[in-house]
Amino acid sequence: MVLAPAYAHLLAAFASPLIPSIESSPGTRYRVEGTRIVAERPITRQTSETVTVSRTLLRETSGDYPLALLAALVLATPAWSLTRRGRVFAVTVSLLILTQFLSLLVNIEYTKLWPQKTAVGIVVSLDYSKAKMILFDWLYAFLEFMGRGFFALLLYFGAIARIWGRPEPGSMKGSVGRNEPCPCGSGLKAKRCCEGG
């Protein structure tokens, strides 16, 4: 995917300002290496000059196909004008990026709770608790499962449910005859539906 490195930079740029509030070890950085987002967390200090840095993979964006899936579904939907497709695409892609950013934040917290093996022994995060580990383990599993295309499908079907069958804005030209189908989409004739007296 050509856009995967740019997408990795976008997610890392969203997450970087939040480092002081979500990371417990000062000096943590998020780096983008190709299509991978990696957290570099300092864990132990042997001396003031030497720091052991833990490198943890946060996200690999080369396998993210929900954006492509959503784009293909929205752009291939029949009977929608290009304007409607563009609006639906913009809204649903924005929501999909927000869900993937939420997944990245859960992944950051989840990887922060992992015990790290170092030369001194196993190091555990300061804010580790078994309940927190179980919670973020379940959140991570849920978002990984839902992030594999299901969020894209749910957003697409939600968009269809909201706007399918509604007339395009400005498409109503003139008045509706008594024997014409009602513009509300009920399938009844106008004289028996909304305009019937």
List pLDDT tens digits, range 112-136: 888 877 776 777 777 788 898 899 9
Average pLDDT over residues 60-87: 84
State both tokens at 142. Answer: 């849920």
Burial 77-107 (b: 16+ CB within 10 A, else e): beebeeebeeebbeebbebbbebbeebbbbb
Indicate whether 196 pLDDT > 90.
no
Residue with more model confidence, 166 or 98: 98
Q: Identify the three-state secondary structure at position 177.
A: coil
User: What is the pLDDT, as a whole number, of residue 32?
Assistant: 93
Structure confidence at residue 90 as a pLDDT band (50, 70, 90): very high
* pLDDT tens string 17-70: 998 888 877 888 899 998 899 998 887 666 667 777 788 888 888 877 888 888
User: What is the pLDDT, as a whole number, of residue 172?
Assistant: 55
Q: Do 15 and 101 contact (CB within 8 A), yes or no?
A: yes
User: What is the pLDDT, as a whole number, of residue 111?
Assistant: 86
C-alpha to C-alpha distance for 106 and 100, rounded to whole angstroms: 10
